Amino acid sequence: MHQELNNLYPKLDLLPNLSVREPTMIATAIRPNLFLDLKQNLRRFRKQHFSSWCPNSGLTQYLNKNTKAAPLAVFRILFGLLMLIAVIRFWYNGWIEKLYIDPLFHFHYSGFSFIDASSSPVYLLFVLSGISAAFVCFGYKYRIAIIVFFFSFTWIELLDKTTYLNHYYFVSVIAFILMFLPAHCTFSIDAFRHDDLRYEFIPSWNIDILKLMLAIVYIYAGLAKLNSDWMFHAMPLSLWLPSKFEVPLLGSWMHEKWMHYLFSWAGAIYDIFIVALLLCKSTRLFGFAAVVIFHLLTRVLFPIGMFPYIMIAASLIFFSPSWHLRILNKLTTLFGINGDVFSNGKRTSFGRPPSISLILLSAFMCFQLIFPLRHFIFPGNVYWTERGYRFSWRVMLMEKTGYANFKIVNGVTGNRFYIQNGDFLTAFQEKQMATQPDFILEYGKFLGKHFAEQGHEHVEVYVESYVALNGRASQPYVRSDVDLMKTTYTKLCNQYLTPFNE
Amino acid sequence: MRSIIRSLIILALPIAVLWSCTDDDNSEGKNVQDTFNRQMMLTGIADEIIIPSFEHYVSKLEGFRVAGDQFSLEASMPTLEQLRLTYLSAYKAWQHVSMFDIGKAEETKLRNYTNIYPTDPNVIEGNISNQNYNLLLPSNYVAQGFPALDYLLYGVGQNDADILSILESNAYRSYLSELINRLHDIGKDVLDDWKSEFRTTFINNNGSSATASVDKLVNDYLFYYEKFFRAGKIGIPAGVFSGTPISTSVEAPYSNRYSKELFQESFVAVQNLFRGISFDGSTTVSSLEDYLQHIQELNQTEDVAQKILDQWSLAEAQVNSLSNSFKEQVETDNIKMLEVYDEIQRAVVLLKVDMLCSFNIQVDYIDADGD
């Protein structure tokens, strides 16, 4: 078994010579050698153990398959460019102030409550993510740039969950994957300047992992649409489309019921099958046309910013390496660079016997496959409780409108007063808060603490809340007899939500 | 090669179409409409409700100003009485325009300069005695407008004779007429703007985005309903937001007999806009109620409009049992005040949840999908 598998690996001497940069000073020479020994030992260890553990020789064969790096380079360039535009657009629209500076209070992600907009260098984060996105685009100091981008962008997203959008999460996920991929090995400044970073070929899985991630996004989004509201009541599109009468060409039909059904069904079918269409060579062009039309339609219809462009750019990854190479060659000619230097025939060592990157990314992809399904373990309707709703590719799935009126009560005297939410929250925060139990709870606890600090005694916090879901009449939401100061999120979702009345 | 060109064309065409037909902020309306004609609704509301209400308001302010001039010429009990009468009718007329915080009214902060209460007698007296003040400053919101006039006309002295003798002094008289003139001028500016340009802007901005007229009008309407109508006139004095009643926070506490009348007037205005009843009551125009019913019929959901109207009838009946002076009501039997508040509040849920979700109104211009 050992022998057999070993034969499948290319000869070790094909690996780039890591000792090329031999230090001249004897004193410092020891350390790098020691380090190299360690590295080689580690590799040998992983090779032996992983290989013998792995029963499927097809898998190892696959992991050693190489492909041209061009698609990854195009992906990197477009991703960096779009992120740079996204950051500039965000800033230009004044959203930094509006969303992160102006609000008195911010909603935190559980587990990340130590991140708060008031104590974060918000502008610096935006500057960092903008600059690092540009560096990623040009492939200049790529490794550092993509790491800086991932952390600064994700930090921004963690500042306030009011602004949660699936596409911001998608960006963080892609940036995470890119941290481990050699996206700078061709058509980048790094590769142009350093021979040892330049590779024409990379392991196929480096590209396939991005395709897999897109497949997860689309297919989970599609499966989530297979519910009765979406399929049989054309909700929430029936609520959203009638007000879109301004859209060119289609505008005059936007109030028609059949149009709502058409959009709902087409959307679900598109999400489920698009990746298959893109994978298959004969349907690829048709699939891509569908991608473009679908995303531009969503761009016209809904306020979802850069997302359509990101998805259109990302789905180019399904095109053949030669297609990408031609695009890249056109680009280099445009910039007056000789692109021939990148055709050096070299293959990267990434992923050959399982590298740390491969192991980490495999674990990450398993997480991505499982995490969106977590709502199955929670009781209740996920649309109503919203437990397990985020980070699950539930995109544009519901229209939820709510109203939450908070009451501060002195538990001893019974003296009470109500809160005007506008005193603490922005209109956008209030809208998001009123329909989500975790927001209601966090805000309720904040109010309790605030008034206790102001000298109020025996503070109890109650909420009278109502939610309308997908066109149904408004229903009471959180039970109004529950003191929010004394409850937890799990209890609130499991016991203190008024049952959903279909 | 051909496939590259083909795919690039596929990519480029829709993007070109897109760039040409959207911008981030769809504030410019096009003449395409859903089956419910938004532009017709906006036209009706502008021509039959907003503009006539402002015309009425400004004409009442003119009467107020004339009475102010009379009083300046000859301060006497009859001229004071005349001044008070015109004050009341202008204040009532104000109740019909307060909610239209849009266009010039929003730009010039008309509502802040006109009706921020409780007023602050100390600031007023300070302004009058040191003569060095700037009414444009936000710190002087509490020293002008109807609440300050309520103080001057009813609260500067213990009784009418006292009041008259204080107002006779030049300093008081000139401050009084300055307040009246300013009230008139800022109100007239807004009316003039509606009549010259803003009507067209308002009607043509018939799209659907956070800055389109329908979205703006509805957002303003709900904001007014919650903050000024529900909280300002009833909730705050009844102690809903403080735990203890604050009887001095009612509207017009110094005259101490008009707060209910003013409240009822604003309630009429709130309902008229919703139902599309013209200012003079002679016709009805296409309204929020019609729009709501249209959407509900489309989706075959419950008739929320009727629920809202029913809720308001309940509230109206409760209001009738209140004292003419809310200050008195709060001091003697605040429970009744709280009961009215609860009825008004119940409609908030219907308006802010059921109605808003039917209209698909944007709260603000921000990237946000349905999750």
pLDDT in tens, A437-477: 999 999 999 999 999 999 999 999 999 999 999 988 899 99
Q: For chains A and B, what is the number of CB pairs under 8 angstroms?
A: 174
Q: Is A357 on the interface with B (CB under 8 A)?
A: no
pLDDT in the model for residue B336:
95
Q: Is A293 on the interface with B (CB under 8 A)?
A: yes
Q: Do A418 and B29 touch (CB under 8 A)?
A: no
Q: Give the tens place of pLDDT for each residue, B85-136.
A: 999 999 999 999 999 999 999 999 999 999 999 999 999 999 999 888 999 9
Q: Is the pLDDT of residue A91 over 60?
A: yes
pLDDT in the model for residue B25:
38
Question: How buried is A56 (Cβ within 10 angstroms: 0-12 exposed, 13-18 middle, 19+ buried)?
Answer: exposed
| pLDDT bucket at B33, cuts 50 / 70 / 90 | very low
| pLDDT bucket at A338, cuts 50 / 70 / 90 | confident
Mean pLDDT of A361-376: 96
Return the closest-CA partner of residue B325 out of B266, B263, B269, B267. B263
Return the closest-CA partner of residue A211 out of A235, A259, A177. A177
Report helix angle A166-178 to A307-315, nearest 10.
Answer: 40
pLDDT in the model for residue B7:
52
Q: Do A403 and B353 touch (CB under 8 A)?
A: yes
- What 3 state SS string does A150-164 have? HHHHHHHHHCCHHHC
**B15 or A190, higher pLDDT:** A190
Q: Is the pLDDT of residue B197 over 50?
A: yes
pLDDT in the model for residue B23:
40
List A residues 385-404 in contact with B (Cβ-Cβ < 8 A): 389-390, 394-403
Q: Is the pLDDT of residue A105 over 90?
A: yes
Range name among A469-473, B174-178, B184-188 with the lowest pLDDT average: A469-473
CA–CA separation, A38 and A51 (whole Å): 19
Please list every residue in chain A whose beta carbon sits closer than 8 Å to the beta carbon of residue B12: none
Q: Is the pLDDT of residue A2 over 80?
A: no
Q: Give the tens place of pLDDT for each residue, B148-164.
A: 999 999 999 999 999 99
pLDDT in the model for residue B299:
78
Q: Do A304 and B367 touch (CB under 8 A)?
A: yes
pTM for this one?
Answer: 0.82
The full length of chain B comes to 371
**A485 or B13, higher pLDDT:** A485
Name the closest residue on chain A to residue B29, using Cα atoms. Answer: A246
Please list every residue in chain B whose beta carbon sits closer than 8 Å to the beta carbon of residue A248: 17, 21
Domain assignment present for residue B4? The answer is: no
List A residues 315-334 in contact with B (Cβ-Cβ < 8 A): 319, 323, 326-327
Mean pLDDT of B322-340: 95
Q: Give the tens place of pLDDT for each residue, B66-82.
A: 999 999 999 999 999 99
Q: Is the pLDDT of residue A29 over 80?
A: no
Please list every residue in chain A whose beta carbon sits closer than 8 Å to the beta carbon of residue B30: 246, 251
Give φ, ψ of B128 to 5 degrees.
-70, -40
Please list every residue in chain B whose beta carbon sits closer than 8 Å to the beta carbon of residue A288: 7, 10-11
Q: Is the pLDDT of residue A246 over 80?
A: no
| pLDDT bucket at B367, cuts 50 / 70 / 90 | low
Q: Is B306 on the interface with A (CB under 8 A)?
A: no
* Candidate from B29, B298, B369 with C-beta closest to A304: B369
The alpha-carbon gap from B267 to the nearest alpha carbon of chain A, in Å, equals 21
**A39 or B285, higher pLDDT:** B285
**B51 or B9, higher pLDDT:** B51
Domain assignment present for residue B7? The answer is: no
Q: Is A212 on the interface with B (CB under 8 A)?
A: no
Q: Is the pLDDT of residue B139 over 50?
A: yes
Range name among B9-18, B93-102, B110-119, B210-219 with the lowest pLDDT average: B9-18
Please list every residue in chain B whose beta carbon sits closer than 8 Å to the beta carbon of residue A92: none
pLDDT in the model for residue A355:
77
Range name among A50-59, A384-393, B211-220, B287-296 with the lowest pLDDT average: A50-59
pLDDT in the model for residue B108:
95
Q: Is the pLDDT of residue B169 over 80?
A: yes
Q: Give the tens place of pLDDT for each residue, A32-67.
A: 455 556 666 666 655 555 554 455 678 878 888 889
- What 3 state SS string does chain B have? CHHHHHHHHHHHHHHHHHHHHCCCCCCCCCCCCCCCCHHHHHHHHHHHHHHHHHHHHHHHHHHHHHHHHHHHHCCCHHHHHHHHHHHHHHHHHHCCCCCCCCCHHHHCCHHHHHCCCCCCHHHHHHHHHHCCCCCCCHHHHHHCHHHHHHHHHHCCCCCHHHHHHHHHCHHHHHHHHHHHHHHHHHHHHHHHHHHHHHHHHHHHCCCCCCCCHHHHHHHHHHHHHHHHHHHHHHHCCCCCCCCCCCHHHCCCCCCCCCHHHHHHHHHHHHHHHHHCECCCCCCECCCHHHHHHHHHHHHCCCCHHHHHHHHHHHHHHHHHCCCCCHHHHHHHCHHHHHHHHHHHHHHHHHHHHHHHHHHCCCCCCCCCCCC
The alpha-carbon gap from B243 to the nearest alpha carbon of chain A, in Å, equals 4
Q: Cis omega before residue B14 (within 30°)?
A: no
Q: Find residue A461's DSSP bridge partners.
A: A408
Q: Is B9 on the interface with A (CB under 8 A)?
A: no
E strands in A384-439 = 400-410, 416-418
List B residues 113-142 in contact with A (Cβ-Cβ < 8 A): none
Q: Is B304 on the interface with A (CB under 8 A)?
A: yes
Mean pLDDT of A224-236: 93
Place of tokens 């009475």: B67
H/E run at residue A145 = helix A142-158
Q: Evaluate whether A87 touches A413 at the Cβ level (below 8 Å).
A: no
Across chain A, what does the average pLDDT equal? 87
Q: Is the pLDDT of residue A17 over 50?
A: no
pLDDT in the model for residue B9:
52
Please list every residue in chain B whose beta carbon sits closer than 8 Å to the beta carbon of residue A95: 366
pLDDT in the model for residue A70:
95
Domain assignment present for residue B23? The answer is: no
* Candidate from B345, B364, B370 with C-beta closest to A427: B364
Q: Do A303 and B34 touch (CB under 8 A)?
A: no
Contacts 24+ apart (CB under 8 A), B219-223: B219/B361, B219/B363, B220/B99, B220/B100, B220/B101, B220/B102, B221/B99, B221/B270, B221/B273, B221/B274, B221/B288, B222/B351, B222/B352, B222/B356, B223/B101
Domain assignment present for residue B18? The answer is: no
CA–CA separation, A372 and A224 (whole Å): 10
Mean pLDDT of A321-344: 88
Across chain B, what does the average pLDDT equal? 88
Q: Give the tens place of pLDDT for each residue, A195-215.
A: 888 999 999 999 999 999 999
CA distances from A469 to A404, B298, B301 (A): 15, 17, 12
Q: Do B34 and A255 touch (CB under 8 A)?
A: yes
Residue A53 DSSP one-character state: H
CA–CA separation, A270 and A277 (whole Å): 10
Q: Give the tens place of pLDDT for each residue, B247-281.
A: 999 999 999 999 999 999 999 999 999 999 999 99
List B residues 153-212 in contact with A (Cβ-Cβ < 8 A): 207-208
Mean pLDDT of A134-155: 97
Give the domain extent around B182: 33-359
Q: Is B298 on the interface with A (CB under 8 A)?
A: yes
H/E run at residue A167 = helix A166-178
CA–CA separation, B121 and A495 (whole Å): 52
Mean pLDDT of B288-296: 90
Q: Do A245 and B32 touch (CB under 8 A)?
A: yes
Name the closest residue on chain A to residue B338, using Cα atoms. Answer: A417
CATH code (residue B291): 1.20.1420.20
CA–CA separation, B224 and B216 (whole Å): 12
Q: Do A239 and B360 touch (CB under 8 A)?
A: yes
Instruction: Report domain extents, chain A.
Output: 2-64, 66-203, 399-495
Q: Is the pLDDT of residue A122 over 90?
A: yes
pLDDT in the model for residue B22:
43
CA–CA separation, A291 and A288 (whole Å): 5
* Candidate from A254, A312, A416 with C-beta closest to B243: A416
CA distances from A336 to A188, A329, A419 (A): 14, 10, 63
Q: Do A248 and B17 touch (CB under 8 A)?
A: yes
- What 3 state SS string does A296-359 have? HHHHHHCCCCCHHHHHHHHHHHHCCHHHHHHHHHHHHHHCCCCHHHHCCCCECCCCCCCCHHHH
Name the closest residue on chain B to residue A161, using Cα atoms. Answer: B371
Domain assignment present for residue B272? The answer is: yes
Mean pLDDT of A288-317: 92
Residue A458 backbone zone (phi > 0: left; psi -120 to 50: alpha; other: beta): left
* Candidate from A164, A254, A417 with C-beta closest to B240: A417
Q: Is the pLDDT of residue A329 over 50?
A: yes
| pLDDT bucket at A128, cuts 50 / 70 / 90 | very high
* pLDDT > 70 fraction of chain A, expressed in percent and rounded: 88
CA–CA separation, A244 and B26 (whole Å): 11
Max Cα separation, chain B?
A: 97
The alpha-carbon gap from A352 to the nearest alpha carbon of chain B, in Å, equals 33
CB neighbour list of residue A70: distance below 8 Å, 6 or more residues apart: A186, A187, A321, A322, A324, A325, A327, A328
Please list every residue in chain B whose beta carbon sits closer than 8 Å to the beta carbon of residue A252: 32
The alpha-carbon gap from B188 to the nearest alpha carbon of chain A, in Å, equals 30
Place of tokens 């992160």: A100
Residue A94 backbone zone (phi > 0: left; psi -120 to 50: alpha; other: beta): left
Q: Is B243 on the interface with A (CB under 8 A)?
A: yes
pLDDT in the model for residue B143:
96
pLDDT in the model for residue A160:
94
Domain assignment present for residue B364? The answer is: no
Looking at the structure of chain B, the number of domains it has is 1
CA–CA separation, A269 and A219 (whole Å): 10
Q: Do B4 and A239 touch (CB under 8 A)?
A: no
| pLDDT bucket at A254, cuts 50 / 70 / 90 | confident
pLDDT in the model for residue B51:
97
List B residues 34-53 in contact with A (Cβ-Cβ < 8 A): 34-36, 38
pLDDT in the model for residue B68:
96
Please list every residue in chain A whose beta carbon sits closer than 8 Å to the beta carbon of residue B350: 474
* pLDDT > 70 fraction of chain B, expressed in percent and rounded: 88
pLDDT in the model for residue B24:
38
Domain assignment present for residue B326? The answer is: yes
